[in-house]
Amino acid sequence: MKNKLILVFIFLSSTLIYAQKLKIKEGSFKNLKDIKEYSLIFDYSNLEIPKFDSEEDFLKDKMDKREEKEAGSGEEFKKSWFEDRENRYEPKFIESFNKRFEDNTVNVNKRENSRYTMVVKTTLMYAGYNVGVWRQNAKIEATITIFETDNADKILFSGDYTKVEGNGAMGYDFNSGYRISEAYAKLAKEFAKNLKKKGLK
């Protein structure tokens, strides 16, 4: 019984969700009051990976370690690292944001014909880990910027979100892509909450 309690404590301690933080850089949520649709762009350029000098160094390290165990597994990791963006992270953000608004009153999509554009630039990505008893949430940091599609210099809102953590599946989130996708879901949820509270009233 004592051992079970220790395991529960470790699990709960490792899955605490720290509050996301927002720092508004430019504009205001009030500028977004009457906007109903956004064209969505995701930007992963110059991505920071904790403990590595660059994303390239991170990929090389992870690929080399996998290749030592199984030939070809390094390339598989690299492939999934990039494919997860379009296959996991972006759909998760879109789904999480859109479901916060009843009757599709506000929505985001990846079409390019909306009057307003929302850019989600990921500035930091940490995959976390889950090796059974020991685990750590994934984490992302991102800047969300909104402007008129035909006038990118007219920024209506720009804000930095930090400490956005992702986990799920009751602790059985062994796949790094899944954990990171949950961070994008939380980012969208937090932005939608801020928008409804500060921009749509």
CATH code for the domain of 37: 3.40.50
- Please indicate, yes or no, if residue 142 is contained in any of the structural domains: yes
- Please indicate, yes or no, if residue 185 is contained in any of the structural domains: yes
- Please indicate, yes or no, if residue 2 is contained in any of the structural domains: no
- Please indicate, yes or no, if residue 9 is contained in any of the structural domains: no
- Please indicate, yes or no, if residue 1 is contained in any of the structural domains: no
Range of the domain at 155: 21-199
pLDDT band of 188, cuts 50, 70, 90:
very high
Domain total for the chain?
A: 1
> Which residue has better confidence, 136 or 110?
110
- Please indicate, yes or no, if residue 64 is contained in any of the structural domains: yes
Dihedral (C-alpha) 108, 34, 104, 87: value to the nearest 10 degrees? Answer: 10
- Please indicate, yes or no, if residue 15 is contained in any of the structural domains: no
- Per DSSP, 134 falls in state -
pTM: 0.87
Q: Which two tokens stand for residue 174?
A: 């062994």
pLDDT tens-digit map of 63-93: 999 999 999 999 999 999 999 999 999 999 9
- Please indicate, yes or no, if residue 7 is contained in any of the structural domains: no
Any idea what the Cα angle at residue 123 is, between residues 48 and 36, rounded to 5°? Answer: 160
Residue 201 confidence (pLDDT):
63
